Amino acid sequence: MAEPTSCHDEHVGTVPQGMPVVALVGSPNSGKSTLFNALTGVGRAVGNYPGTSVEVGSGRWADPSFGQVALTDLPGAYSLAPMSPDEALTAELLAGDGHLDAVVIVCDAVHLGRSLVLAAHVRMLAVRCVVALTMTDVAARRGIAIDDQVLSERLGAPVVRLDPRRRDVSGLARAVAGALVEPPMHPLALPTGVPTGCTAACPPGCAACPPTTAAALTASLTDDDLAVAEAVFAWVSATVDAATRRTHEARRTWTDRVDRWVTAPVVGPSIFLAVMWAVFVLTTTVAAPLQDGLDALFTGPITEAAGAILTAIGLGDGLLAGFVVDGLIAGVGMLLTFVPLMAIMFVLLALLEDSGYMARAAVVTDRLMGRLGLPGRAFLPLIVGFGCNVPAITAVRVLPDARHRLLTSLLVPFTSCSARLTVYVLVAAAFFPESAGTVVFALYVSSIVLVVLGGLLLRSTLIRSLGHEPLVLDLPPYQRPSVRLLGAATWTRLRGFLATASGIIVATVAVVWALGVIPAPGSGAGLGDVPAGESLYAWLARGLSALFIPAGFAEWHAVGALIVGFVAKEAVISSWAQTYPAGTDLPDALVADLGASSGGHPQAAAIAFLVFLLAYTPCVATLATQRRQIGGRWTAVGVAMQLAMAWLLAVLVFQVGTALP
Amino acid sequence: MTLEEAATGLDVVLVAGADVRDGRPPRPPVARRLAELGLRAGAPVRIQNRTSGGGAIVAVGEDRIALSRDILRAVRVEPASAPTPAPGGRATQPGPERRDG
């Protein structure tokens, strides 16, 4: 029985027994992912390859000529001499002991020379290959005519011309079906440079043949004397000359004209800032009413309806009702409020990437971000992080190198999201009525400093392999994004987010609810009927507050707020509203409590509290998204780093603050 | 001259791949990547426009590649042979480049 379509990360890379495995390889911007989407339809998943933070797509490709194959969309690569973990994964999966039954090499007709470097490398492996030629229509318009027959002879593999936008892929399917019934191909023997005594009759793996494993090939390609690499370049040049004909001279395209402005000094950065501003506004101001609407729906009608149903069946007041309403429904509600925000983010990301603008943004920001040791594209997630960290972490996928994605994912939590702002404003106004604005501003500056410091710290400790490479970036022509592909990509990613984040978010909200209704050890109160100060929550907060004595806010209301703040910063203020007796003036109570806990330095304690709040873990939704992006282990490293930095900085701030006159 | 010194719009030919000796950037893998993208000895290239931050967009056939200043400095070029420059450097005139239309 065929497996139902799945959307879990865990399923990426797993294939039912007996189904042929076909991989798509191609250089970035070659039309590979568009082809992948056209071939797989709805039954696909995008997620990290197991054990890596490199994203691959996987799905089923069904066609009458071969039934069904498992199709893997390997990360885009320019060659099998990898320069990033993403390219290394492609090389590694191609090397994998014969588990690929066939490879479709996607070659872009407009940029044939570049595509053929990768094609030649793949053809030097003993694997069945079919070459899919994309963008032939664009090439024809630019005066490039390609002779498929010559190309096929030179490559020793079938060449199929296709236009994925027209969705006719039957020719490719027939070629793949034909390849699958043949034995693995004899590796391509280069005519120049490489010593080879091969003939077409050689058995696969003969000693005189070119390397037949990707590992051996990569080793020879990265060899210092460059003999193999040069031989490939010579072969590519000769092949391009033999297989292409210029029908008319190329003219300056409108992409060139646009780029003169979009990447120019002054104008380029201004356009970039305008685009970032638009992204920020769309992910904050525009998403906010949708989020508030969903939130109101869950806290209002749905909660009431659930309460009414539970009352009708006689469970209106019990613990179960509390669990369903304040645990489950509140948790699901919180999860769903992220949906409009994430949908907007995914659409924006797809638009920026598919249109070709993202590559230009990388050019414009390269120098500035290079000083921070980050590539230019990291600007986008970091900006979005000031709105909300959750979509920001999903935005790190615009970075083509897994190490950059990891580094940026770990830095995003230090960007001060808008949920933190509500706490800053309340606390700053309570403790610094004269200069609340300055305090809030200083926190935002600190947030930027934390990103820079965190980056330096990570690059000198855990992520050391990351040198700053000078910019070499292939710029795809601008194009109008296809609405159908945009919708499909957004839906696939949204589904993936819900699948990964739902469990963590709902479970954590339910646990926090449980802490509030279970009485503390030694309390006389009954289950579900506990005053706030006697709950397990208060007991835990009191226990943890010992840790914060050197930071001046060892006080259970403050520490308790940090516990719920771990779940969501939106819950900090409401936790105070619930734990202080009704009728208390909240600012006065905070000043009095922190005054007592800090030995008479409430302002220093308040600043230390705010610094801790800024630097520690933003919320469980961020963690859930991080786990999806960089895996559980790195997420845990990130949490440890955030807590350590937050605690050290809070202690430092309080100690310096109390030492000052 | 280096690619950085080449005038915008001037057709030039790469003398050699990026110079990666004496430890200056770019490192050998970067030089290999440049070659894979078509920036190899003998390749005809043209500076399309200068970019923010001191780099440039370079045209190699139909390809457009953004390069940072470090790279432009490491790549040696010479004017393309076809329009032999008369004394006074007329080759930098836009004349042979006008293909708009």
**In chain B, domain spans:** 11-82
Would the pLDDT of B84 be above 50? no
Looking at the complex, does the CB of residue B52 fall below 8 Å from at least one CB of chain A? yes
> What H or E segment, with its residue span, contains residue A597?
helix A586-597
Residue A179 or residue A252, greater confidence: A179
Would the pLDDT of A414 be above 60? yes
Residue A262 or residue A528, greater confidence: A262
Residue A512 or residue A259, greater confidence: A259
Å from B31 to nearest chain A CA?
10
pLDDT band of A299, cuts 50, 70, 90: confident
What pLDDT score was predicted for residue A260? 93
Is A113's CB within 8 Å of B28's CB?
no
Would the pLDDT of A415 be above 90? yes
Give the pLDDT mean for B78-86. Answer: 65
Looking at the complex, does the CB of residue B22 fall below 8 Å from at least one CB of chain A? no
Touching A: B residues 58-77, CB under 8 Å = 59, 61-68, 70-71
Q: How far apart are CA A584 and CA A420, in angstroms?
A: 23
Looking at the complex, does the CB of residue B8 fall below 8 Å from at least one CB of chain A? no
With CA atoms as reference, the chain A residue closest to B74 would be A470
Which residue of A233, A467, A471 is in closest CB contact with B68?
A: A471
Q: Which residues contact A413 (CB under 8 A, 6 or more apart)?
A: A385, A389, A617, A618, A622, A638, A642
With beta carbons under 8 A apart, name residues in chain A contacting B29: 81, 83, 222
With CA atoms as reference, the chain B residue closest to A477 would be B64
Q: Report the C-alpha dihedral over residues A390, A391, A394, A398, rounded to 10 degrees.
A: -140
Percent of the residues in chain A that have a pLDDT greater than 90, as a whole number: 35
Looking at the complex, does the CB of residue A471 fall below 8 Å from at least one CB of chain B? yes
With CA atoms as reference, the chain A residue closest to B70 would be A470
Would the pLDDT of A197 be above 60? no
Percent of the residues in chain A that have a pLDDT greater than 70, as a whole number: 91
Look up residue A482 and give its DSSP letter. Answer: P
Identify the CATH class of B11-82. Answer: mainly beta
Would the pLDDT of A523 be above 80? no
Would the pLDDT of A6 be above 60? no
Residue A134 or residue A528, greater confidence: A134
With beta carbons under 8 A apart, name residues in chain B contacting A79: 32-33, 36
* A11, A58 Cβ separation under 8 angstroms: yes
Q: Which residues contact A469 (CB under 8 A, 6 or more apart)?
A: A83, B25, B26, B27, B30
CA angle A608-A610-A611, nearest 5°? 65
What pLDDT score was predicted for residue A200? 53
Which residue of B29, B35, B52 is in closest CB contact with A263?
A: B52
Identify the CATH class of A6-246. Answer: alpha beta
Looking at the complex, does the CB of residue A117 fall below 8 Å from at least one CB of chain B? yes
With beta carbons under 8 A apart, name residues in chain A contacting B68: 366-367, 470-472
Confidence (pTM): 0.81
Give the pLDDT mean for A640-648. Answer: 95
Would the pLDDT of A138 be above 90? no
- Report pLDDT digits (tens) over B27-43: 677 888 898 999 988 89
Looking at the complex, does the CB of residue B36 fall below 8 Å from at least one CB of chain A? yes
Give the pLDDT mean for A100-120. Answer: 93
Is B30's CB within 8 Å of A470's CB?
yes
Q: How far apart are CA B54 and CA A441, in angstroms?
A: 33
What pLDDT score was predicted for residue A398? 80
With CA atoms as reference, the chain A residue closest to B20 would be A224
Is A469's CB within 8 Å of B30's CB?
yes
Å from B74 to nearest chain A CA?
11
Would the pLDDT of B91 be above 80? no
Residue A527 or residue A535, greater confidence: A535
Q: How far apart are CA A48 and CA A36, in angstroms?
A: 16
Is A260's CB within 8 Å of B49's CB?
yes
Segment among A450-459, A591-600, B13-22 with least mean pLDDT: B13-22
- Report pLDDT digits (tens) over B60-75: 988 899 999 888 988 8
Is A250's CB within 8 Å of B28's CB?
no
Which residue of B32, B33, B66 is in closest CB contact with A475?
A: B66
* A520, A535 Cβ separation under 8 angstroms: yes
Is A113's CB within 8 Å of B38's CB?
yes
Is A78's CB within 8 Å of B48's CB?
no
Bond before A433 cis per omega within 30 degrees? no
What pLDDT score was predicted for residue B92? 40
Q: Which of A352, A304, A335 is nearest to A362 (CA)?
A: A352
Would the pLDDT of A113 be above 80? yes
Look up residue A535 and give its DSSP letter. Answer: B
Give the pLDDT mean for A215-229. Answer: 75
Give the pLDDT mean for A617-633. Answer: 91
Q: How far apart are CA A20 and CA A72, in angstroms?
A: 11
pLDDT band of A71, cuts 50, 70, 90: very high
pLDDT band of A213, cuts 50, 70, 90: confident
Is A472's CB within 8 Å of B35's CB?
no
Å from B87 to nearest chain A CA?
28
Q: What are phi and psi of B33, to 5 degrees?
A: -65, -40
Would the pLDDT of B25 be above 70? no
With beta carbons under 8 A apart, name residues in chain B contacting A471: 55, 66-68, 71
What pLDDT score was predicted for residue A578? 76
Q: How far apart are CA A496 and CA A517, in angstroms?
A: 33
pLDDT band of A467, cuts 50, 70, 90: low
With beta carbons under 8 A apart, name residues in chain B contacting A241: none
Is B53's CB within 8 Å of A260's CB?
no
With CA atoms as reference, the chain A residue closest to B43 would be A237
Is B26's CB within 8 Å of A255's CB?
no
Q: How far apart are CA A109 and CA A246, in angstroms?
A: 12
Is A472's CB within 8 Å of B62's CB?
no
Q: Which of A348-362, A403-417, A493-507, A563-577 has the highest mean pLDDT?
A: A403-417
Is A260's CB within 8 Å of B48's CB?
yes
Segment among A543-547, A557-561, A579-583 with least mean pLDDT: A579-583
Would the pLDDT of B96 be above 50? no
Give the pLDDT mean for A14-27. Answer: 85
Which of A144, A368, A471 is the best substitution to test chain B (most B C-beta atoms within 10 A)? Answer: A471
With CA atoms as reference, the chain A residue closest to B49 would be A260
Ramachandran category for residue B22: left, alpha or beta (phi over 0 → left; psi -120 to 50 → alpha): left
pLDDT band of A12, cuts 50, 70, 90: low
Touching B: A residues 193-222, CB under 8 Å = 221-222
Would the pLDDT of A555 be above 70? yes
Residue B19 or residue A589, greater confidence: A589
